[in-house]
Amino acid sequence: MKRNFLFTAISVSSRLLAGLLLSLLLARLWGPAEFGVYSFAFSTMTLLVLVVDFGLDLYLMREVAAKPDEASRLISDAFMAKLMLSAVAAVAALCVIGLLGTELLPIGVALPLFGAALAFSFSDLFAAPLRALGRYDLETGVVTAGNALQFGLTGCAAWVGGSAMAVAMAALVSRVGYLLIARMALTRVLSELQLFNRATTSPLNTIKRAWPYGVDYMLVVAWNQLDILAVRMMFGVQAAGLYAAGQKIVFGTSALAPIVGNVMIPRLSTMFAARDKRLWQMAGKTSGFMAVLGAVLALPLIVWPELTTRVLFGPRYSELSNYLPWFGGVLLVRYISAGAGVLITAMGQQSKRVSAQLFGMFCVVSLAALLDVPTSGLPWFFAVYLAGQIFMTIYYFMSLLQCRDFFR
């Protein structure tokens, strides 16, 4: 078990670390303006491909682990569902580009990034069942190789002076390479796999079965992308570049939260199923550890914002130091909420997570409209966004309080 946790930690860390390092590299080489253009296109295309993701990799991890003899059929079902959703996402991408215009979404940047996000989505579909089949080692190798390929190709393209368009094309090539690696690895484990199996379940039925995973996953990713889009639309490309730089720090330093969750959820789930009264004690320790971890990671952003900005991004991002304490607050609150979220998942209350995230987003939109954030300025956006995170966290803990009588 410890060996599998180690492989999981390596897999998750390599993905988030590669993304963080690549973002830091692009930000330093380009400056806020061009980084803002790239980040806006990246976030927009990522949100569109959420329709294709729909949590199907998480769905496969659970279903294949429960029914390994049906792994080939389940993977084929999910693959056909993704193909149908890909057509929907492609039409949506063209419509969004047409509506926003090429000034906001340059076609040469947006379309390659859409293709890269699509290839990445299918790659995860092939990599996820490896963990469910007990091949944590192979899954870790595949994910790590894919991340190394992405960082190497896109990083080199930027290092030699490549524009946002060149880096987007490099991202597409690297993600196609990851797709091929993941497909070959899965074939090694399931030689009988037939993706285009006429006996598969209809794509609509597969989507209906996977919807709880899809909604939760889409909301989690939306929290990490919608804010960049909002800043770009309200405050311009320069502000978007600065904001995206800080947001990437939060996203990258959040890497430890899912690792802790992967370790604690099975243990807490077992205690919950056994009606073990020590569950709350263990849950308290988990939440406390997550809060301390979040405080340690947020400390440099809150206490030494100028030094952190200078070391990570350079002098062109000096204005970012004014906002890093806000990002530190968001990071701390996210770790606190993650501690509560682990227990909610362990207790089988996944719908509570969906409700909490929807409530947090509703609070952000309501406060933004009430305070007229577009005319109030970027600091007010930070205040509203942090408030939304806090309200979501309160919702989590209120949900837990409703369950405290369960063991009496």
Q: Is the pLDDT of residue 407 over 50?
A: no
pLDDT band for position 197 (50/70/90)?
A: low
Rounded to whole angstroms, the Cα distance separating 233 from 380 reads 15
Is residue 197 within 8 Å of 76, Cβ to Cβ?
yes
- Amino acid 200: pLDDT: 62
- Rounded to an integer, the average pLDDT of 143-159 is 89
Q: Is the pTM of this model over 0.75?
A: no
CA neighbours within 13 Å on the CB side: how many for 60?
Answer: 26
Q: What is the pLDDT of residues 62-93, one digit of tens each?
A: 677 667 777 788 888 888 888 888 998 999 99
Q: What is the pLDDT of residues 354-374, one digit of tens each?
A: 788 889 889 988 998 888 888
- Amino acid 274: pLDDT: 74
Collect all residues with Cβ–Cβ distance below 8 Å to 133 and sequence separation of at least 6: 64, 65, 68, 71, 189, 190
Collect all residues with Cβ–Cβ distance below 8 Å to 116 and sequence separation of at least 6: 45, 168, 171, 172, 174, 175
- Rounded to an integer, the average pLDDT of 38-62 is 81
pLDDT band for position 301 (50/70/90)?
A: very high
Is residue 146 within 8 Å of 11, Cβ to Cβ?
no
Rounded to whole angstroms, the Cα distance separating 356 from 393 reads 8
The number of beta carbons lying within 10 Å of the beta carbon of residue 95 is 11
How deeply is 275 buried, as exposed, middle or buried, from its count of CB atoms within 10 A (0-12, 13-18, 19+)?
Answer: exposed
Q: What is the pLDDT of residues 258-272, one digit of tens each?
A: 666 666 666 676 677
- Rounded to an integer, the average pLDDT of 138-156 is 86
Q: What is the pLDDT of residues 166-193, one digit of tens each?
A: 999 999 999 999 999 988 888 888 777 7
Q: Is the pLDDT of residue 201 over 70?
A: no
Tell me 197's DSSP state.
-
